[in-house]
Amino acid sequence: MAFPSRTGARLPDHLARSAKAGRRAGGGPSRREFLAPATAYGASSATAYAMLGMARPARAQTTPVPGGTVRIQGELRALRDPRTFDFNMLANMTRGWLEYLVQYENDGTFTPKLLESWEVSDDATVYTLNVRPGVTWNDGTPFTAADVAFNIERFCERDFEGNSMASRFGVMIDEATNRAIPGVIEVVDDLTLVLNLPAPDISIIASFAEYPAAIVPQDFDADLMLDNPKGTGAYLPESYSPGVSGALVRNENHTWWNAGNGAWLDRIEYVDFGVDPAAFFNAAESEEVDAVHATEGEFVFLFQTLDGWRQNEVVSAGTILARAKQTEGPYGDARVRRALAMAVNNETVLELGYAGLGEAADNHHVCPIHPEYADVGRPEFDPEKAAALMAEAGVADYEHELISLDGGFWRDTADSISAQLRDAGIPIKRTVYPSNTFWNDWSKYPFSVTNWNHRALGVTTLAIAYRTGEPWNESSFENAEFDGIVTEALGEPDLEKRRALMAQAQQIMVDEGVIIQPYWRSMYNHCKEGLVGFNVHVAQEIRIDEMWWDET
């Protein structure tokens, strides 16, 4: 049995089986297993919930009040070409004028933005993308399928330095030219284009929702993106100073495509207080901000003491990990990497590094809330065996240096990992860097701690972060078997078959000691009561067009 999608297309039978499983589970884990792939195939959120015998959760019915300003704490780094973004706050600034084809929601569904709808063939090789009619750039020119094609071609430029979008669209890239394969992007008419993939890939729609996938105009110049902020969004940048502040103001000279349904605020200000969460709390307490982008660890409890502030929270696949770069020092030896992981109790790091506000992880970077997650068991914790492995590798006396950002849960997590390595008899020293220094070279350190954003699909995370040669492969992990399994999983529409492949890939991650991944972060933020539409998103997006002040 197949089900109709948003546009009348048919969804594959394997999704019907998943829907039945979701109904049997009463909306438990199987619900997310179904919602993400069903909406990626083209079903509306309402239809996908109906397939599960459920109604989509309704938002509170309130009447928005136009006007006003909101001040938000957020770390501000130098802007650059969006396809090279490696930090979600960059996108939260540019969301004012650069929008996305698709949005990813906290319930695991994908909803249309600049696309009105899409259809996907059963084998995930043909994607028909329907552009939303009536959208214009803020200079008045129509937004068309040719603009979408231009952006997808940009995503496929593998040799553009820092372009992580190429990791997500590898199926469409010619290995000889590092460009999109001729004919793979077909513009049918002004509002329709078709992607004719040479092999299946189930992650395309999810990739459109990633924060580096902002849609830019065909005359885009990254050096002039603030001076000439051409986009489809409702706002314009008024100012931007990295490390200090930035401001967006509503564009009164542009008829936004969704006018009447959002963009209520006159002005959004971002204020940078560095990375110390104590500074965020002080700014809130002294009324310098109206909202905090992210609240971490013990400060979650401290914010609960502020009168007139609201706490927002969500379970996420956001995480933090320590990785050894396999091209540096002794870290090319899997015994050394396994020893590092074996010496660390992830539950302890969760408590000490993040105040217990999450779930312990299993060192393979696929989360239980990912649709294709496979349970491969808990990692082995054995400090004595870890020390023996180091001795066997001939590096028992080698002093490791664990580098982290000097702030918040990054520092606390790295401190906890270091303490456990030291307790296991493994020599370790700690180095901390301020934000600008750390992020300039985040992918180059021999042994360091970094945080990773939530992704809709676990296979996407493995593809962009651990396949050989990818820009975000900070561990320099190279494993042909792993690469092949992940690529096969990207092309497997059937969820159960994909989960079997993921089990293999996850086990390789553990066996090779690629990462120490102590926990999955529950995400929190805080804002003043009355700020409607400011919530915590699993990927820490700030939906500026959904916010308004309710002063009743």
**What is the C-alpha to C-alpha distance for residues 472 and 68, in angstroms, rounded to an integer?**
39
283 SS3 class: helix
478 with 521: CB under 8 angstroms?
Answer: no
Is the confidence at residue 197, as pLDDT, over 80?
Answer: yes
pLDDT digits 0-9 by tens, 145-192: 999 999 999 999 999 999 999 999 999 999 999 999 999 999 999 999
471 with 162: CB under 8 angstroms?
Answer: yes
Quick one: pLDDT band at residue 4, thresholds 50, 70, 90? very low
**What is the C-alpha to C-alpha distance for residues 238 and 245, in angstroms, rounded to an integer?**
11
Determine how many CB atoms are found less than 10 A away from the CB of residue 498: 24
- Per-residue pLDDT, 165: 97
CA–CA distances in Å: residue 355 to residues 43, 186, 346, 350, 521: 39, 50, 13, 7, 10
24 SS3 class: helix
Average pLDDT over residues 3-21: 58
- Per-residue pLDDT, 328: 97
pTM for the whole structure: 0.93
CA–CA distances in Å: residue 459 to residues 124, 138, 404, 463: 15, 36, 26, 6
Per-residue DSSP letter, 136: B
Sign of CA dihedral 542, 548, 549, 552: negative
- Per-residue pLDDT, 232: 98
pLDDT digits 0-9 by tens, 426-480: 999 999 999 889 988 899 999 999 999 999 999 999 999 999 999 999 999 999 9
Sign of CA dihedral 258, 261, 266, 271: negative
Domains of the chain from N-terminus onward: 1-58 (no CATH), 97-223 (3.90.76.10), 315-522 (3.10.105.10)
CA 497 to chain centre: 24
Give me Rg for the CA atoms of the chain. 23
pLDDT digits 0-9 by tens, 373-383: 999 999 999 99
**What is the C-alpha to C-alpha distance for residues 311 and 333, in angstroms, rounded to an integer?**
45
360-377 burial, b if ≥16 CB within 10 A, otherwise e? Answer: bbbbbbbbbbbbbbbebe
Beta bridge partners of 523: 314
